[in-house]
A and B are shown apart, each in its own frame.
Chain A
Amino acid sequence: MSKFRLYLEENNRSPVKQLWREFKRQHSAMTGLVLFITFFFISVLAPFITPHDPYLQVDELLLLPPSWSAAGLVQYPFGTDDLGRDLLSRMIKGTSYTFGFALITVAGALIMGLVLGALAGMSKGVKSSVFNHILDLALTIPSLLLAIIIVAVIGPGLMNTTWAIMVALLPQFVHGIRNAIDEELKQDYVIAYRLDGANSWQVLTRLILPNIWEKLTIMATMAISTAILDIAALGFLGFGAQAPLSEWGAMISDSLDLIYLAPSSVAIPGLLIFTAVLSVNLVGDGLKTAILKRRQN
């Protein structure tokens, strides 16, 4: 069949391929995607690619400046901190803490949100309305504040932060998913599908989920940037990752006293947080634009 192309390509693509085509056209979004994938691989491979042990304290090399200054060493590109630990290795390790844990958090929140959102979206009447009003109430609390409260109750630590942010992100997911499902249910093709004999479960899995996954992706990318910022903020405030862990936020707060002696030890994690959030937002924005453009065609 592939020999005869009777029609031009662009109209004969599946919706996903069309989306990718529109996405590819945006350079900023592609840059974001490349950065995102890089961060992802660094966070997965962190234990294998760190040049030094990120927790090894070398007493002879305290506060080594980065290698581009005259006093620096090539083996320690970003220099060392006040305990003589290699900053590059700590950054790499930190990627899996800040970026990796943000991904896990969002994935967890997304799964829980899907279950609850589907329950809320597919049910009708008083049950659904009560549920929704409680959710709306939870939405009024900012996610960072909610996360701080939860951490204050269950105690500091990276794992607890993850749980806290997951719970804090949950209301917006449930709300978004419920609205998306609600919108889908109004479509003619849902009625048509029911008339074909499908039950609610089949309608949900075969019809609604494939049609809302794009919205879910956008929601998730936006949530990832929130999660990164929240994890870093909690780490910075001392509620999140604790002392030796090389989480980016915690690292900034650790080296804040040394900002005059070793500015790079504050600047680099800050820059990384910025880049990570930027990459995620670029991808999310690009997706949004691509979906909009596809609809226009």
Chain B
Amino acid sequence: MLLLDIKNLTIELETADGLVRAVDRVSLSLREGETRGLVGESGSGKSLIAKAIVGVLNRRWQVTADRFHWLGKDLLRLTPEQRRQIIGRDIAMIYQEPSRSLDPTAVIGEQLEEAIPDHLLSGPWWRRSALRRKKAVGLLHKVGVRDHQRVLQSYPYQLSEGICQKVMIAMAIAKNPKLLIADEPTTALESTTQAQLFRLLASFNQLKGMAVLLISHELESVARYTQKLSVLYCGQLVEAGETTQVLQAPLHPYTDALIKSVPEFQPDLAPKTPLYALPGSIPTLQHVPIGCRLGPRCPNARKECVKTPALERQQNHYFSCHFPLTTKGN
């Protein structure tokens, strides 16, 4: 059954000069126990989509969608109260800078215990606090923090970013969510810790069947730990499909450029040789081109590209381009 089913999600920002469309008809779906990567450069709207899913966008943003279903319920039609209940129960999110999303004035133990919902504690009320503590320690062990005593008694500033992020994950999994959204979880971390964290997320996915939506601007780190992949550019979905398939035979020129621009995916590229790069820079939201937003930067753009291409399908591989790349390496 589809956990999350979003069709044609559009997010617009009210500015002084009218509505600015930050996310343009993006579709996204997630099965139970699936890991999906959401890749896009800055301004692609990937964080906005995550925020729209958990419903934390402020009033300046208008969210519309043809379908916005969570386990068959349309989230946009619920009252905020009902929606919050569902999301609070089923979806957890972790952010880019863990030390900033933790309360600096409370010790970790207090914050972690607070994140454990009552219904998961079985026992009479007078044993609740002891159970809570025990559960908090257990959670820390699960995310690979061994000296729980020290961590529980520390304030966020006393811990490294890596540990803080692990604590965030512990808080996120405390309620056994069905979906974990990780918004650039490793950007602030050391490269050695980054791999650790991705492995951690992958293991939770495999052991508990927790679906993971992994958001990042680095294709290479996402590709390694996800089954499905969605690539965004400037608020438009350019390609989606099985990760291996997308990497091996990208159909959209942008995905192709993204893959080729990373030396890691090009093992036969000699050191110090130029990388493949798209010309131009990412347009700002106010100045996006009409039609396919990649248009001006696209190597094989043609006249038809001023019309927004519809999302097409080749088996399980979705793409939106008038002139998809047919074979790899042209």
Q: CB–CB under 8 A between A and B in the complex?
A: yes
Interface residues, chain A, CB within 8 Å of chain B?
7-8, 10-11, 25, 297
A10 and B16: CB pair below 8 A?
A: yes
How many Å lie between the Cα of A10 and that of B17 in the bound state?
9
Interface size of B by CB at 8 A reads 6
Which residues from chain B contact A297 at a C-beta distance below 8 Å? Answer: 15
With both beta carbons as reference points, the residue of chain B lying nearest to A293 in the complex is identified as B16
Question: What is the CB-to-nearest-CB distance from A297 to chain B, in angstroms, rounded to a whole number?
Answer: 8
Which label, helix, strand, loop or mixed, suits the secondary structure of the A interface? loop
Question: What is the CB-to-nearest-CB distance from B266 to chain A, in angstroms, rounded to a whole number?
Answer: 33
The A-contacting residues of B in range 13-32, CB under 8 angstroms, are: 15-17
How many Å lie between the Cα of A228 and that of B268 in the bound state?
76
If A8-B17, A8-B286 are given as contacts, then 5 extra A-B residue pairs at C-beta distance below 8 Å, sorted by A number, are A7-B286, A10-B16, A10-B286, A11-B286, A11-B287
Which residues from chain A contact B15 at a C-beta distance below 8 Å? Answer: 297
B300 in the interface (beta carbon within 8 A)? no
A8 and B16: CB pair below 8 A?
A: no
Which residues from chain B contact A10 at a C-beta distance below 8 Å? Answer: 16-17, 286
Binary A-proximity of B2-16 (CB < 8 A = 1, otherwise 0): 000000000000011
A11 and B16: CB pair below 8 A?
A: no
How many Å lie between the Cα of A104 and that of B150 in the bound state?
60
Which residues from chain A contact B284 at a C-beta distance below 8 Å? Answer: 11
Question: What is the CB-to-nearest-CB distance from A167 to chain B, in angstroms, rounded to a whole number?
Answer: 40
Which residues from chain B contact A25 at a C-beta distance below 8 Å? Answer: 16
With both beta carbons as reference points, the residue of chain A lying nearest to B286 in the complex is identified as A8
How many Å lie between the Cα of A25 and that of B16 in the bound state?
10
Question: What is the CB-to-nearest-CB distance from A21 to chain B, in angstroms, rounded to a whole number?
Answer: 8
How many Å lie between the Cα of A8 and that of B15 in the bound state?
13
Question: What is the CB-to-nearest-CB distance from A7 to chain B, in angstroms, rounded to a whole number?
Answer: 6
With both beta carbons as reference points, the residue of chain B lying nearest to A8 in the complex is identified as B286
The A-contacting residues of B in range 237-289, CB under 8 angstroms, are: 284, 286-287
Question: What is the CB-to-nearest-CB distance from B285 to chain A, in angstroms, rounded to a whole number?
Answer: 10
Top 3 closest pairs, chain A to chain B, by CB: A8-B286, A7-B287, A11-B286
With both beta carbons as reference points, the residue of chain B lying nearest to A297 in the complex is identified as B15
With both beta carbons as reference points, the residue of chain A lying nearest to B60 in the complex is identified as A296
How many Å lie between the Cα of A10 and that of B18 in the bound state?
12
Which residues from chain A contact B16 at a C-beta distance below 8 Å? Answer: 10, 25
How many Å lie between the Cα of A45 and that of B292 in the bound state?
62
How many Å lie between the Cα of A8 and that of B16 in the bound state?
12
Question: What is the CB-to-nearest-CB distance from A66 to chain B, in angstroms, rounded to a whole number?
Answer: 45
How many Å lie between the Cα of A7 and that of B289 in the bound state?
11
How many Å lie between the Cα of A8 and that of B285 in the bound state?
11
With both beta carbons as reference points, the residue of chain A lying nearest to B287 in the complex is identified as A7
Q: List 13 A-B contacts (CB under 8 A).
A: A7-B286, A7-B287, A8-B17, A8-B286, A8-B287, A10-B16, A10-B17, A10-B286, A11-B284, A11-B286, A11-B287, A25-B16, A297-B15
Which residues from chain B contact A8 at a C-beta distance below 8 Å? Answer: 17, 286-287
Binary A-proximity of B55-80 (CB < 8 A = 1, otherwise 0): 00000000000000000000000000
How many Å lie between the Cα of A19 and that of B16 in the bound state?
14
How many Å lie between the Cα of A277 and that of B188 in the bound state?
48
The A-contacting residues of B in range 103-148, CB under 8 angstroms, are: none
How many Å lie between the Cα of A232 and that of B284 in the bound state?
52
With both beta carbons as reference points, the residue of chain B lying nearest to A7 in the complex is identified as B287
With both beta carbons as reference points, the residue of chain B lying nearest to A21 in the complex is identified as B16
How many Å lie between the Cα of A25 and that of B17 in the bound state?
13
Which residues from chain B contact A11 at a C-beta distance below 8 Å? Answer: 284, 286-287
Question: What is the CB-to-nearest-CB distance from A212 to chain B, in angstroms, rounded to a whole number?
Answer: 26
Question: What is the CB-to-nearest-CB distance from A113 to chain B, in angstroms, rounded to a whole number?
Answer: 34
Q: Max chain A CB contacts within 10 Å: which of B15, B16, B284?
A: B16
Which residues from chain A contact B287 at a C-beta distance below 8 Å? Answer: 7-8, 11
How many Å lie between the Cα of A79 and that of B325 in the bound state?
88
How many Å lie between the Cα of A128 and that of B17 in the bound state?
48
How many Å lie between the Cα of A162 and that of B320 in the bound state?
72
How many Å lie between the Cα of A25 and that of B202 in the bound state?
50
How many Å lie between the Cα of A10 and that of B15 in the bound state?
11
Question: What is the CB-to-nearest-CB distance from A152 to chain B, in angstroms, rounded to a whole number?
Answer: 46
Which residues from chain A contact B286 at a C-beta distance below 8 Å? Answer: 7-8, 10-11
Question: What is the CB-to-nearest-CB distance from A185 to chain B, in angstroms, rounded to a whole number?
Answer: 23
With both beta carbons as reference points, the residue of chain B lying nearest to A6 in the complex is identified as B287
Question: What is the CB-to-nearest-CB distance from B281 to chain A, in angstroms, rounded to a whole number?
Answer: 13
The A-contacting residues of B in range 282-319, CB under 8 angstroms, are: 284, 286-287
Question: What is the CB-to-nearest-CB distance from A11 to chain B, in angstroms, rounded to a whole number?
Answer: 6
How many Å lie between the Cα of A297 and that of B287 in the bound state?
15
Which residues from chain B contact A7 at a C-beta distance below 8 Å? Answer: 286-287
Question: What is the CB-to-nearest-CB distance from A20 to chain B, in angstroms, rounded to a whole number?
Answer: 14
Question: What is the CB-to-nearest-CB distance from B282 to chain A, in angstroms, rounded to a whole number?
Answer: 14
How many Å lie between the Cα of A10 and that of B286 in the bound state?
9
Question: What is the CB-to-nearest-CB distance from B286 to chain A, in angstroms, rounded to a whole number?
Answer: 5
With both beta carbons as reference points, the residue of chain B lying nearest to A10 in the complex is identified as B17
Which residues from chain A contact B17 at a C-beta distance below 8 Å? Answer: 8, 10
How many Å lie between the Cα of A65 and that of B15 in the bound state?
53
Question: What is the CB-to-nearest-CB distance from A289 to chain B, in angstroms, rounded to a whole number?
Answer: 14
With both beta carbons as reference points, the residue of chain A lying nearest to B284 in the complex is identified as A11
Question: What is the CB-to-nearest-CB distance from B235 to chain A, in angstroms, rounded to a whole number?
Answer: 17
How many Å lie between the Cα of A10 and that of B16 in the bound state?
9
With both beta carbons as reference points, the residue of chain B lying nearest to A9 in the complex is identified as B17
How many Å lie between the Cα of A7 and that of B287 in the bound state?
7
With both beta carbons as reference points, the residue of chain A lying nearest to B283 in the complex is identified as A7
With both beta carbons as reference points, the residue of chain B lying nearest to A296 in the complex is identified as B60
With both beta carbons as reference points, the residue of chain A lying nearest to B16 in the complex is identified as A10
Question: What is the CB-to-nearest-CB distance from B107 to chain A, in angstroms, rounded to a whole number?
Answer: 29
